[in-house]
């Protein structure tokens, strides 16, 4: 069995959305919920971004998303989660062979830096090559843009089923033109380009995830916990 240690990747990008009213960055619960699930399952959990830094997404800090125990953990800068997040190493400083599970948290900002985040991708490729689990949630599949199966040289998601944030949801949020202005690729587009089969739930905000072998993906912020738990279940079968 691969090492019972997980890496949660974090976007280090940020950008203004909603006509400059909102700053996108890490969508907090997309890292916090997997962190809680993995720790509860007995994993040693690390966090890392490409540059070692992060910006908290404005929307992710609103009461609809961040409340109760999650809000307490976020507000407590001495919590284990905040300590790890605020003192993240650069991905290039880590040894990918030390992880059995890779989980790409997201936020719209991940569409910007994940496609070319070679240090993070290198860790994910090593986890995959060593028979571990690779997972993502929401915009996290942006990490798959240049992620290859070292055994075949093909995209890791080619021929596989995945999910992620829907193009419909980008349109409903009214930010598609701004995203186009950033020159980023939507999850559904990336899926099609790399030969994966994109699946989604009927509702854009439903809790929904897809398991295809050692690849586990979730659709949106509401899917963060169920996706992490599904990834853990797959890990237990390895």
- Active site (catalytic) residues: 138-139, 170
Residue 36's Cβ-side half-sphere holds a number of Cα atoms within 13 Å equal to 13
Q: Which two tokens stand for residue 55?
A: 């910006």
DSSP labels for 46-104?
Answer: EEEESSS---B-SGGGSTTTS-HHHHHHHH-TTSHHHHHHHTPPBGGGS-GGG-SEEEE
Judged by DSSP in three states, 91 sits in helix
| Burial of 61: CB neighbours in 10 Å, binned 0-12, 13-18, 19+ | middle
131, 214 Cβ separation under 8 angstroms: yes
Residue 80 main-chain phi, psi, to 5 deg: -55, -45
Residue 54 main-chain phi, psi, to 5 deg: -155, 160
Query: What's the residue count for the chain?
Result: 238
Q: Where are the alpha helices (DSSP H) in 114-238?
A: 118-129, 167-173, 176-181, 187-193, 224-236
Quick count: other Cβ atoms within 10 Å of Cβ 53? 14
């Amino acid at each position: 069995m691969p090492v019972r240690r997980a890496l949660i990747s974090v976007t280090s990008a940020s950008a203004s959305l909603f006509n400059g009213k909102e700053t996108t960055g890490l969508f907090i619960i997309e890292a916090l919920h997997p962190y809680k699930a993995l720790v509860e399952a007995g994993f040693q959990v690390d966090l890392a971004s490409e540059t070692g830094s992060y910006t908290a997404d404005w929307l992710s800090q609103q009461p609809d998303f961040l409340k109760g125990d999650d809000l307490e953990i976020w507000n407590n800068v001495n919590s284990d989660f905040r300590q790890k997040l605020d003192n993240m190493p650069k991905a290039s400083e880590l040894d990918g062979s030390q992880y059995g599970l890779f989980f790409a948290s997201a936020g719209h900002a991940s569409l910007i830096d994940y496609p070319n985040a070679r240090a993070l991708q290198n860790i994910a490729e090593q986890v995959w090559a060593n028979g571990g689990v690779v997972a993502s949630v929401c915009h996290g599949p942006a990490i798959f843009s240049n992620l290859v199966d070292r055994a075949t040289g093909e995209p890791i998601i080619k021929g596989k089923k995945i999910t992620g944030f829907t193009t419909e949801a980008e349109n409903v949020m009214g930010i598609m033109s701004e995203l186009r202005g950033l020159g980023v690729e939507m999850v559904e587009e990336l899926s099609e380009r790399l030969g994966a089969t994109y699946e989604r739930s009927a509702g854009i905000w439903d809790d929904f995830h897809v398991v295809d072998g050692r690849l586990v993906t979730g659709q949106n912020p509401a899917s963060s916990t169920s996706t992490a738990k599904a990834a853990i279940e797959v890990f237990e079968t390895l």
